[in-house]
Amino acid sequence: MMRQKRGISDLIATVLMVLIVIAAVGIIWSAISPMFRTQLDKPLLCSQIELTINTEAGYTWYNDSDVSPVKNGSVMVTSEKIGEMKDMQIMIRDNAGKSVTLKLRDDLKQNISTADYEDRTYSLNGSYLQVKGLTGTPTTVRVAPMVMIGGKKETCQPTEEVTLPAFSAVI
């Protein structure tokens, strides 16, 4: 007597195929969703931060009487809205056309402002700026907030470049 071979039914085969496709989509989505999340979260988080460089109060300057090749100075940053800012970059350009970017926490070992509508002044050490690559007198500065997305710091749009006024301090 001959035995009949029986395969799986069409219904079970269809259900298994649907489950395999759903599992594949889940695996692919978990691999690529962090890329989409970064692209979507960054504009939202950055829009919640508003920084300006305060040139009116007299704390944004470089020391014109300093004899070192790269001058000391400071920059005052006003935080209108602080949002989820985790760090800040200070970008300085010198009269030789060179520029350097400093991270507030890593390079300057200073904490960021944690309150809205707060003025903070950050010192710029000429010797340190020279080590980082500046060769001339600092002429312009701008700042950019940084936010944390997926465990990584992302830089937001920087402020407009501001001219550093000279200040002669005779000690």
- CB-based contact 42:117 (threshold 8 Å): no
Predicted confidence (pLDDT) per residue in 12-54, tens digit = 889 999 999 999 999 998 888 777 666 677 888 899 999 999 9
The residue-averaged pLDDT of 80-87 equals 85
Q: What's the predicted TM-score (pTM) here? A: 0.71
Alpha-carbon distance of 59 to 164, in angstroms, equals 10
The correct CATH number of 48-167 out of 2.10.260, 2.60.40, 1.10.3470, 1.10.10 is 2.60.40
Predicted confidence (pLDDT) per residue in 116-139, tens digit = 778 888 888 888 888 888 888 889
